[in-house]
Structure 1
């Protein structure tokens, strides 16, 4: 998608009045120290919302990661949070550690805050669980449950291109069938974290339970490179380590990670501009020559020994909206440089392929076409040169796109798929239904091609679209189409 369906930069409306903090007392029947203690406070409140905080203290053995859960009883909803990854399913709220505050030693404490909407009494939660252990009571800690179902196996296949197919190390054809996991492209640049929602074992297992075998992970070049406009806790080594950790976890469940440069630097205010900001806060028409090659050289260096990882060069190019002719747009797409209508120096797809190969990586590379990756009409004509021979054409298809039916797919996509592997890196619809994705999946299935649904996030499926209503994998009405299909073809 050109934009994520929401931004976590939510404005608080109404006059906020400071109120006395509502604290949950630490309860101990016998006076012994509980396994963990949680203090919950309402620090300010207004007509339609409030600000809250939790302070967690670990009183047992040190832990390298933590997850706190509690239930609201008054219809409250978390709308924004900090110092933790906040999510809510029904009445249950979950806060999991950020990459930089997961370590919690014996006797150590960590605090996190949030904004919430409320109406009525704004009742204080009465029970808190830390990694499955009930806090504020005398109880021996219980171990975190081991996820049931298919175990993590470390079986993500090493991939390469053979003719028109992606194949594994043994030469068997391998289709990429899965989901996108948005968040890494926007949370860091907006200053609120790295991932949008949990990416722990349970969260990845939920994706695997849909019988997916691939996860596309959108990234932000400024966060990866640690530029000065990004908060240090979400930038540079911290961001890179979080990406590496997620890739390792994804692969441990046999899922192919697809690393996608989603948002990039460069000021563009022309036709179809997503923002006027020079920074990587929206989808730009093309990657920039200043930072994008360095981003891919660094990513390639980090994953060159991992042939299971796939690289997606640039989310959704649209130089055709800036330039006056189709030929100019495709030339800009491949060669970069000074492109008509784009005010910054552009890195072409050939530049980025060269950056990856120059770093010693032979990983499979996906490349989307024009019109937000919806137009592949001249992809073969302008295909970059790759000494490794591992290029894949990437298509994005939504019900509201120009090329969104079998007639167009037959004329524009089938010729490409006859010469190189073709992956639909994003398919989706904004109808809270799945009539379009059903049609798309059938067309791609009939030709043995790959596709991934947008997106594994708990947003409003009519504006997103989003596949799930919670991170345990409960599908939306739209997501049910993808889930049921994947489970049917991969029983």
Structure 2
């Protein structure tokens, strides 16, 4: 959508400087296999904080309950965690299985993650125990400081709550095991407009309860619209809502989305560049509305920074630009598609344009191999020549993005069959935004059926408490209470998993 309303909410702040991932290797002496192995990783680190994960593998008899123990050497403190009951006493950290992953079969593994604070240095733990037995060493010894196994924990239901790394296989999005992963969920608007309007970072709560409400709809994906001027900390954005503070807030939301088992899609929504031509959303040079194309001055830098931030987390997908519409500015369709792919000086657009190829290159030049989504013309509603002008991706991890509302031109089965089906036969197709402004769901029901019949992906716009007639809103309360329109998506997602 092009015009979300403004609202007010203060967001968290903090300084961020990303470092690379650090993993503790599993090293054992010769002889018997270790009773358990633990892989500890620092996946993201910034000034004063970091995100970590552990993967625990049980190499002995099945466990009906498990507790991991380790020590922080430098005064690090666990702030929050997921997929385990995390606690800390002094330097000692323990993580116990949840109700859904409390048993650990022989040869089975479980993963859990956390956010923590640090200062000075952040040495990784050197020893781990599972139910008091030392891991990563021959045989294992008992650590009396670890609590015993809880035999009342229920068995694992097979879900560990960790969203999968995403990659393209043919025309499908799959996980690391080659299993199809349809991206089904919602958009969470706010990060594209609150900061540049000077009100905050998010529109409404993004805490654990708010994310659990999304997960309770059986969503597995959350799309997060962003603003390039806020991410880059340009001077027109209040310092408390831009630069390091904005980046830290985005990183925190991405971590929370993943903590609830959902894949995050970070998406560039509003950009720099003065455009006053046909269908202009605003006359402002700053990123205060949807522009026809991303700008060459700032957008490649934005994507270089975002990609570098999340390149070690393949569960995060990148949506390069919300809704291109160079077709409204240029004289011919061929000019519009060439502008879309190649950028440069485009007829009717007064600023230097970054094309989709420029942005794919900006992402891949960082070493990031994350899934990339690329929308077409006419506010991502026209994919008729997407395959002809498809950008080159050296990672082979590119998908087409499509937006459809009841008021769009390509909003019927005939158009979908003629323009979308050929694209979906070649590359993964994701409807990054679906919706209708009737406050009902008869149209989105048709969209979901067409996409379901082809095992394709779609995300509803939007998880915000707005008036659905002015901008399709799925909820009337952040506890997940749906609007009449939102009930259609909620009930449909639950039925798919029922």
Pairwise same-fold verdict (TM > 0.5) = yes
Q: Match for 2:380 among 373, 376, 401?
A: 373
Distance in structure 2 (CA, Å) of the matches to 1:250 and 1:179:
12
Distance in structure 2 (CA, Å) of the matches to 1:258 and 1:316:
15
Q: Match for 1:314 among 312, 318, 321?
A: 321
Matches for 1:405-484 after TM superposition, within 5 Å: 405-484=412-491
Q: What is the CA distance between 1:7 and its match in structure 2?
A: 2.2
Q: Match for 1:178 among 164, 185, 195?
A: 185
Distance in structure 2 (CA, Å) of the matches to 1:172 and 1:431:
36
Per-residue CA distance 1:273-308 (angstroms, 9 max, x = gap):
000000000000000000000000000000000000
Matches for 1:159-174 after TM superposition, within 5 Å: 159-174=166-181
Q: What is the CA distance between 1:2 and its match in structure 2?
A: 1.5
Q: Match for 1:223 among 219, 230, 235?
A: 230
Structure-2 residue corresponding to 1:200 = 207
Structure-2 residue corresponding to 1:209 = 216
Distance in structure 1 (CA, Å) of the matches to 2:340 and 2:99:
44
Mark the CA change 1:99 to 1:149 in structure 2 (over 3 Å): closer, same or farther: farther
Mark the CA change 1:239 to 1:149 in structure 2 (over 3 Å): closer, same or farther: farther
Structure-2 residue corresponding to 1:50 = none
**3-state DSSP of counterpart to 1:345:** coil
Gaps of 5+ in 1: 9-80, 86-96, 102-147
Matches for 1:91-490 after TM superposition, within 5 Å: 98-100=11-13, 153-490=160-497
Per-residue CA distance 1:104-129 (angstroms, 9 max, x = gap):
xxxxxxxxxxxxxxxxxxxxxxxxxx
Q: What is the CA distance between 1:490 and its match in structure 2?
A: 1.2
Distance in structure 1 (CA, Å) of the matches to 2:212 and 2:492:
18
* Matched-pair contact (CA < 8 Å) for 2:13–2:246: no
Gaps of 5+ in 2: 15-97, 102-111, 113-159
Deviation >2 Å, runs of 4+: 148-154
Structure-2 residue corresponding to 1:2 = 2
* Matched-pair contact (CA < 8 Å) for 2:13–2:249: no
Structure-1 residue corresponding to 2:122 = none
Distance in structure 1 (CA, Å) of the matches to 2:481 and 2:175:
31
Q: What is the CA distance between 1:479 and its match in structure 2?
A: 0.3
Distance in structure 1 (CA, Å) of the matches to 2:340 and 2:419:
18
| Aligned positions, number | 358
**3-state DSSP of counterpart to 1:478:** helix
Q: What is the CA distance between 1:3 and its match in structure 2?
A: 1.5
Structure-1 residue corresponding to 2:107 = none
Structure 1 length normalisation: TM-score? 0.72
Distance in structure 2 (CA, Å) of the matches to 1:385 and 1:367:
12
Q: What is the CA distance between 1:150 and its match in structure 2?
A: 7.8
**3-state DSSP of counterpart to 1:254:** coil
**3-state DSSP of counterpart to 1:414:** helix
Distance in structure 2 (CA, Å) of the matches to 1:416 and 1:287:
23
* Matched-pair contact (CA < 8 Å) for 2:11–2:249: no
Per-residue CA distance 1:441-474 (angstroms, 9 max, x = gap):
0000000000000000000011111000000000
Per-residue CA distance 1:2-44 (angstroms, 9 max, x = gap):
111x123xxxxxxxxxxxxxxxxxxxxxxxxxxxxxxxxxxxx
Structure 2 length normalisation: TM-score? 0.71
Q: What is the CA distance between 1:149 and its match in structure 2?
A: 10
**3-state DSSP of counterpart to 1:249:** helix
Per-residue CA distance 1:401-424 (angstroms, 9 max, x = gap):
000011100000000000000000
Distance in structure 1 (CA, Å) of the matches to 2:411 and 2:13:
42
* Matched-pair contact (CA < 8 Å) for 2:186–2:222: yes
